[in-house]
Amino acid sequence: MKMACVRALADLARLEASHVAVAAYGDKPLKFGPQYLIPKPFDPRLLVQLAPAVAEAAMSSGVATRRIENLGEYREKLARFQWRTGLLMKPVYDAARKDLQRVALAEGENEVILRAVQTMLDDGVADPVLIGRPAVIRKRIEKLGLRMKPDEDFEIVNPEYDPRFWDYWTSYLALMERKGVYAETAKITVRTNATVIGALMVHRGDADALIAGVVGRFHDSLQDVMDVIGLRPGGKVAGTLGALNTTDGTYFICDTHVNPNPSAEELAEITLMAADKVRVFGLEPRVALLSHSSFGSHDNVPAAKMRRALELIIQQAPDLQVDGEMTADMALDYPFRRRVFPNSRFRGPANLLVMPGLDSAHISFNLSRIVSNSVTVGPILLGMARPVHILSPSATVRRVVNMTAVAAVEAQQLESARNTSDE
């Protein structure tokens, strides 16, 4: 068993250093060689790498009194301790692995993206397509000590040269010619804007989904994908949903990024889209429409908006567990709500919190994230015609991988819906 542990350590040392360990050691080079023979103790992969190796050796030697029938399942269980989003993301990862989707990553030269792609390949959750200059990507892969090989493990779309360039810029011009974009501008944009390139790939069917936003401003990327991909058929609004994975449970908040002051009709549409997304994570949504008012205690415009949104939601989804308007403590403290308002439309604490505006949603999400030391998933972009998600420059490797898996599952669902309609 000692030798099994030693061999597992040696195998891990030969892998690329974990981004967690790199950050803990001040971005010092951690590459296998005379100065780096043993993995750093901050490497979160130690648990998943060592424990199964020792357990397997114990079973082989006859020392173990209880066998582990499926070491793969054992590794998955350990991985849930390795990453705090593991339990929340498990149904998403399981679904993503069943039918790998081609997910384009706009910032393919970025270090976070490259590390995330290595993890995607190891976890088998998507077929990544990187947008970036091949020489730069290869150089950075070598510098980071990653094992993946361009053109073997993943495809590269080179903005400086691609045989589809004419098709892409003419497609973009057709979409934008009545929005003040001319031919020369279209050519330049398709050469220089990776988000537009990725959106065009999804629009034309060369990729199934898009991840962008690790570099740049959220609203700039949102405008690019709105121009190319647009809203879902019949949809009138986009929104975003953020997930907070806390020690007490998982909570979803919307709309954290898009609409400054949504109308009741927009809130109703966003809420229904968000509820569908919560179900993707294997959870049944319990929706609270939040306000400073609870069940008519204040009669003013903001409270009336949330009451009107509730009416619209019930009309469209009468079986949805939703209620409001209510204060945040009323939504989360079920014993208090049961005592004060026993006729609420759902039992238990709410897990989907719909805010009246962008300020309240964004502040609540980030305040809760910091105070509770939560791990987040998102922002999850709602309402687009095709699977696309815009992250932020603060995105971690794990968040990129998580959102890639979410996008892949959305692409599967879209394809399934198309096949059903064709029948």
Task: Tell me the residue range of the domain where 284 lies.
Answer: 239-382
The dihedral of CA 380, 384, 385, 389: what is its sign?
A: negative
* Pair 199, 148 in one domain: yes
* Pair 243, 376 in one domain: yes
Report if residue 298 sits inside a domain: yes
* Pair 218, 256 in one domain: no
* Pair 208, 246 in one domain: no
Report if residue 125 sits inside a domain: yes
pLDDT of 29 reads 58
* Pair 343, 304 in one domain: yes
Please check the confidence at residue 58 and state whether its pLDDT lies above 70: no
pLDDT of 247 reads 80
Report if residue 95 sits inside a domain: no
Task: Give me the amino acid identity at 258.
Answer: V
**52 C-beta neighbours (distance < 10 Å), count:** 18
Alpha-helical (H) ranges within 124-208 are 134-144, 165-176, 183-192, 194-204
CATH code where residue 305 lies: 3.40.50.10750
Report if residue 193 sits inside a domain: yes
Residue 148 vs residue 14, higher pLDDT = 148
Provide the angle, in degrees to the nearest 10, between the axes of the packed helices 301-316 and 264-280.
50
Q: Cβ distance 280 to 389 under 8 Å?
A: no
* Pair 165, 260 in one domain: no
* Pair 344, 308 in one domain: yes
Report if residue 295 sits inside a domain: yes
Domain boundary among 382, 397, 412: 382
Domain boundary among 82, 115, 146: 82
Closest residue by Cα to residue 88 from 275, 210, 255, 244: 244
Q: What is the pLDDT of residues 109-123, one digit of tens each?
A: 999 999 999 999 998
Report if residue 365 sits inside a domain: yes
* Pair 199, 311 in one domain: no
* Pair 281, 309 in one domain: yes
* Pair 369, 254 in one domain: yes
Cα separation, 356 vs 378, whole angstroms: 19
Strand segments, DSSP code E, in 77-137 are 102-105, 127-131
Give the chain's domain count.
Answer: 3
Please check the confidence at residue 72 and state whether its pLDDT lies above 90: no
Report if residue 89 sits inside a domain: no
* Pair 252, 262 in one domain: yes
Q: Mean pLDDT across the stretch 206-216?
A: 96
Q: What is the pLDDT of residues 259-314, one digit of tens each?
A: 999 999 999 999 999 999 999 988 999 999 999 999 988 999 999 999 999 999 99
Whole-prediction pTM:
0.81
* Pair 316, 339 in one domain: yes
Report if residue 90 sits inside a domain: no
349 Cβ neighbours under 8 A, 6+ residues apart? 249, 286, 331, 332, 333, 334
Q: Cβ distance 116 to 89 under 8 Å?
A: no
Q: What is the pLDDT of residues 80-134, one digit of tens each?
A: 555 455 678 888 999 999 999 999 999 999 999 999 999 999 989 999 999 999 9
CATH code where residue 137 lies: 3.40.50.10950
pLDDT of 257 reads 95
Cα separation, 310 vs 189, whole angstroms: 42
